Amino acid sequence: MNFIEAKNSTRILALDYGEKRVGLAISDIMKIIAKPFKTLSNTSDKSIINQLKIIIVEKSIEKIVVGLPTTMNNQESKQTKIVTQFIDQLKTAVEIPVIPYDERLTSIEAKRSLFSQGVKTGHNKGAIDMTAAAIFLQNHLDER
């Protein structure tokens, strides 16, 4: 891929949806590497969706991967239903694919990763959310 092709390429965005925060991760233009991007305060689904619409345009997003929390025994939880409702709203609001992705254990993995880097996670929940999104986005990229 040359510079011109890379410049016109698109990215994949991942969301770790929470009732207080939404952690975002983004792929590189070649869709090989995922990295934490930012954390949005979740004041309302409408606000999150409006912010995502801006990011979709600014970052040339072709697809959104949303972490779907399920229990360890593959059951739906209260949070699964909340995230599923958000995914349904997002699908009607944007014109790109929105894909649910099993995010089990990614928050634990994110905490371990940040701890191993010397990052304190007690008051930095946004870093955990972004890192969790990056972990399941990387898994998604690796599976392609």
Residue 77: predicted pLDDT: 76
At 119-131, the pLDDT tens digits run: 555 556 667 788 8
**Would you state the pLDDT for residue 125?**
67
SS (H, E, C) the chain: CCHHHHHCCCEEEEEEECCCEEEEEEECCCCCCEEEEEEEECCCHHHHHHHHHHHHHHCCEEEEEEEECECCCCCECHHHHHHHHHHHHHHHHCCCCEEEEECCCHHHHHHHHHHHCCCCCCCCHHHHHHHHHHHHHHHHHHHC
% of the chain with per-residue pLDDT over 70 = 75
Mean pLDDT of 32-56: 96
Note the pLDDT of residue 103.
79
- Domains of the chain, residue spans: 3-143
Look up the CATH superfamily of 3-143.
YqgF/RNase H-like domain (3.30.420.140)
Q: What is the pLDDT of residues 79-125, one digit of tens each?
A: 889 999 999 999 999 999 999 998 765 555 655 664 565 555 555 66
pTM confidence score:
0.83
Mean pLDDT over 33-37 rounds to: 95
